[in-house]
Structure 1
Amino acid sequence: MSKQPILEMKNVHSGYGSIKALKGISLKVMPGEIVAIIGANGAGKSTTLMTICGIVPIEKGEIYYDGKLINKVSAEKLPTMGLCQVPEGRRIFPRLSVMENLRLGAFHRDDTDQIMKDIQHSYEMFPILGERKAQQGGTLSGGEQQMLAIARALMTKPKVLLLDEPSLGLAPIIIQQIFDIIAKINKEEDVTILLVEQNANLALQAASRGYVVETGEITLEDEAQSLLTNPKIREAYLGE
């Protein structure tokens, strides 16, 4: 594993106008890792991902991706560089078909033959999407929409995938399927993953390392297994 982080935040402050959401976040993600960010609602987890993506403006600090400073890179350019987010709430295009949603994931690419091969690969990875390829995205179940959102992001050919609350609103059996897919993407597609997840137990089981965010600050970082067995974490986030 490379010693150079593929993604790094250094003392990052950001917010929404007068509301300071992040107050000096520093974290790093090494190539090939799954890193989890856990914390309570409103702690700043999703804002961390949106700040990386340039959706929430950075006020202070530095964000590096693949060795490059990306503070001033526009949100729409980042997927072309290999950094892609699957947003909270999925945000698929409800009136477009499954296939049209996937094609939009490759909007910046011009390798038409490979795009079609990658769409086919999406159907192999997510067979239900293949069965529903002509169906409007809005008619899919929540779990199917989450699969479509992940598959669409993979069409950008990412090096790093930012996943925001992939289990939100899904039935337990579907959540397990989604997390199996996340592990597969990490191992078989060689995609590094930064995962924000309300379900701390699942997130830490999937990850190699984790960060705990409280009121816009990182209060703890450790190996995921150590966080899983930490009594304070178990009490605060694992319902014990």
Structure 2
Amino acid sequence: MSAEPILELRNVHSGYGTIKALKGVSLKVYPGEVVAIIGANGAGKSTTLMTICGIIAAEKGEVLYDGKKINKVSPEKLPIKGLCQVPEGRRIFPRLSVEENLILGAFHRKDQEGINKDIEYMYSLFPILGERCKQHGGTLSGGEQQMLAIARALMTQPKVLLLDEPSLGLAPIIIQQIFDIIKDINEKNGTTILLVEQNANLALQAATRGYVLETGEITLEDKADALLHNPEIRKAYLGE
């Protein structure tokens, strides 16, 4: 593990008007890790990712990426720096084809040969996207749209990928495929991943370390395996 985190939150507070969603969140993500944030609905998991990306402003505290403060960096500039989010609800371009969605993921890149190569790589990672490459994104199933959202984000060549609820609303067989690919991306490409996920069991199985978020505060941090076998976590989040 690198001595310096690639992504760090220091005492971050943020929210929606008078609603304080994050109340002093501090966490670290090191290069090459998969880090999971687990917690109940409304705990502040998605807000954490949106605050990292600047979609919600941090009212207090610091968000650091690659050692530099990014609180004031506009969200559209972060993918160029190597920090990219796959938002909850996928948010692909429904009227554009699969291939056009992927090309838009590489909007800031000038290396056409590299872009073409990466599109082919996405089709090898997600064969169904290759089969559907000329279809409009809006005609894909939920699972296929989630695959497209991840593939589009990977076209930015991210150092750090933020994944917000990748299993939401998907069938178990598709969820397993998505998580197998998440592991693959991390192991083969070395992409660092910060994962927010309602399914605590799957998230912790995929992760190196994990944080438990409760009503806007980190209440526990440990290696993923230790959290997976923690009786309190098993009772609260794994239905035991």
* Shorter-normalised TM range: over 0.9
Q: Displacement of 1:199 after TM fit?
A: 0.1
Deviations 1:10-42 (A, max 9, x none): 000001111111000000001000000000000
TM-score (norm 2): 0.99
Q: CA RMSD in A?
A: 0.5
Q: Which residue of 2 aligns with 1:79?
A: 79
Opposite residue 231 of structure 1, the aligned amino acid is: P
Return the offset for 1:101: 0.2
Structure 1 residue 111: deviation in Å?
Answer: 1.2
Instruction: Please name the residue that 1:15 is paired with.
Output: 15
SS at match of 2:76: coil
Which has the larger displacement, 26-35 or 107-116? 107-116
The aligned residue for residue 124 of structure 1 is 124
Distance in 2 (CA, whole Å) between partners of 1:165 and 1:171 is 14
Task: Tell me which amino acid in the other structure corresponds to 1:91.
Answer: R
How many angstroms apart in 1 are the aligned matches of 2:161 and 2:227?
A: 22
Structure 2 matches for 1:1-240, cutoff 5 A?
Answer: 1-240=1-240
Task: Give me the whole-angstrom Cα distance separating, in 1, the residues matched to 2:56 and 2:69.
Answer: 16
- The residue type equivalent to 1:131 in the other structure is E
Note the alpha carbon deviations across 1:85-122, whole angstroms, 9 max, x for none: 00001000111000000000011111112111111111
Greater CA deviation, 174-183 or 118-127? 118-127
For residues 77 and 165 of structure 1, the distance between their equivalents in structure 2, rounded to whole angstroms, comes to: 23
Give 1:124 shift.
1.0
Please list the CA deviations of residues 56-88 of structure 1 after superposition, one character each: whole Å capped at 9, or x if unmatched: 111000011011110111100000000000000
Q: Give distance in 2, aligned partners of 1:155 and 1:148.
A: 10
SS of match in other structure, 1:187:
helix
* Counterpart Cα distance in 2 of 1:49 and 1:67: 18
Name structure 1 gaps, 5 residues minimum.
none
Aligned residues: 240
Distance 2:156 2:190 in 1: 14
List structure 1 runs of 4+ shifted beyond 2 angstroms.
none
Which SS does the other structure have where 2:10 is aligned?
Answer: strand
Which secondary structure does the structure 2 equivalent of 1:166 belong to?
coil
Q: 1:23 corresponds to which letter in structure 2? A: K
Q: Which moved more, 1:106-115 or 1:206-215?
A: 106-115
Counterpart CA distance in 1 for 2:174 and 2:126 is 13
Q: Distance in 2 between matches of 1:101 and 1:190?
A: 24
Q: Shift of the alpha carbon at 1:190?
A: 1.2
